[in-house]
Amino acid sequence: MRKTFVLACLCFLFVSVSYANAKAPVVIMETSMGAIHIELNDEKAPVTVANFLKYVRSGFYDGTIFHRVIPNFMIQGGGLTPNMSKKKTRAAIKNEADNGLTNDRGTLAMARTSAPHSATAQFFINVKNNPFLNHRGKTMRGWGYCVFGKVIKGMDVVDKIRYTQTATRGFRRNVPVQTVTITRSYVQGEKKPAARPAVRRAAPNASFASMPKRSVVELDTTMGKIQIELFRNLAPVTTSNFIEYVKSGFYNGTIFHRVIPNFMVQGGGLTPDMTKKKTRAAIQNEADNGLKNERGTLAMARTSAPHSATAQFFINVKNNPFLNHRGKTLRGWGYCVFGKVIKGMDVVDKIRYTKTATKGFRRNVPVQPVIIRSAKLLP
């Protein structure tokens, strides 16, 4: 009789646990890097979970980005669009960080300001155990950050986001260079909303909708081929301008006319007889995008006027920090980086070490012309 009673209790306990687990809401967050499944703990954090589900069901998160990625800490998102505009949220909620849940790897927590009860929509996923974020007391410094869920599938996607390349963008640091978008989020078992396309910053003279997600331009030169990936999301005006010149055939037959082996190789505006090609109007300088003039990066050449770039570009052959943006002054604007060499850096180095001479008033001109036979956007 006692054995039967114990077995009955165990069965009841098993059914109760199964039922409790079945009730836990699971949100599926589809991103441009893959899907993340998150189980929410509405028992321990009822206010936070209810708030999060309202944002999910309203479609608020769809089209937002992971805007802050620190590989040894966490990935944060859910509040900004790809052009770094902050979305309007509902009122802040109370902090439930005293619920006993801890900021361990794979847990979901609410982002907030230094004020304990200021969380609205933004969240983060811990990529390692972060005990310093846990609740220690009901004080300004001790409140901690409320954990309200955990990743149950897609931690590999979280780690992909974790290790994506980042840069400074305006006053924001640790912003992914290639935008990581939440295309849609929904509660498992409920009707899926239509995936929303990512919002892009407007840029003149080009249709971003017609461009592939990853823009790579190939320069076929007399010394070999160079493939360059463009940072469309961080320098939309500059990449749009460059792509227009590529598509029009402008660069075909131009030369690398200025080569300084401990600095950079410059081209894209002169023909082999040193005639300067006619260009379109100058574009705005986007050097304040956080990208640095490091070895292998592509940047716009210009005069001493900050917003004078047209078609000419250069490839840095070493780190050139003195070219970076330091402020919106005549001397501080810097030179806009908008891409990087992903294949053919050996070709760049061949050009770098070619013999040069003075030709007319131009110095550092290759003795044997290095011609761009063609420039094309790869499919």
Q: Which CATH number fits domain 208-377: 2.40.100.10, 2.60.40.790, 3.40.640.10, 1.10.630.10?
A: 2.40.100.10
Is the Cβ–Cβ distance between 348 and 265 less than 8 Å?
yes
Residue 151 near residue 108, CB atoms below 8 Å: yes
Chain region(s) in the chain for CATH 2.40.100.10: 22-187, 208-377
CATH class in words for 22-187: mainly beta
Res 195: pLDDT: 57
Mean pLDDT on 286-312: 93
Give the per-residue pLDDT at 198. Answer: 42
Q: What is the pTM of this model?
A: 0.52
In which band, very low, low, confident or very high, does the pLDDT at 157 lie, cut at 50, 70 and 90? very high
Q: In this predicted model, what pLDDT tens digit does every residue of 26-75 receive, in sequence order? A: 999 999 999 999 999 999 999 999 999 999 999 999 999 999 999 999 99
Range 229-244 average pLDDT: 91
Residue 12 has a pLDDT of 38
Q: How confident is the model at residue 214 (pLDDT cuts 50, 70, 90)?
A: low
At residue 210, the pLDDT reads: 38
How would you write the chain as a 3-class SS string? CHHHHHHHHHHHHHHHHHHHHHHCCEEEEEECCEEEEEEECCCCCHHHHHHHHHHHHHCCCCCCEEEEEECCCEEEECCECCCCCECCCCCCCCCCHHHCCCCCCCEEEECCCCCCCCCCCCEEEECCCCHHHCCCCCCCCCCCCCEEEEEEECHHHHHHHHCCCEEEECCEEEEECCCCEEEEEEECCCCCCCCCCCCCCCCCCCCHHHCCCCCEEEEEECCEEEEEEECCCCCHHHHHHHHHHHHHCCCCCCEEEEEECCCEEEECCECCCCCECCCCCCCCCCHHHCCCCCCCEEEECCCCCCCCCCCCEEEECCCCHHHCCCCCCCCCCCCCEEEEEEECHHHHHHHHCCCEEEECCEEEEECCCCEEEEEEECC
pLDDT at res. 200: 37
Mean pLDDT score across all residues of the chain: 88
- How many CB atoms are located within 10 Å of the residue 355 CB? 8
Please report which confidence band the pLDDT of residue 338 belongs to, taking 50, 70 and 90 as the band edges. Answer: very high
- pLDDT attached to residue 194: 64
Residue 354: pLDDT above 90? yes
pLDDT of residue 165: 87
Say whether pLDDT at 192 is over 80.
Answer: no
Q: Average pLDDT, stretch 226-255? A: 93
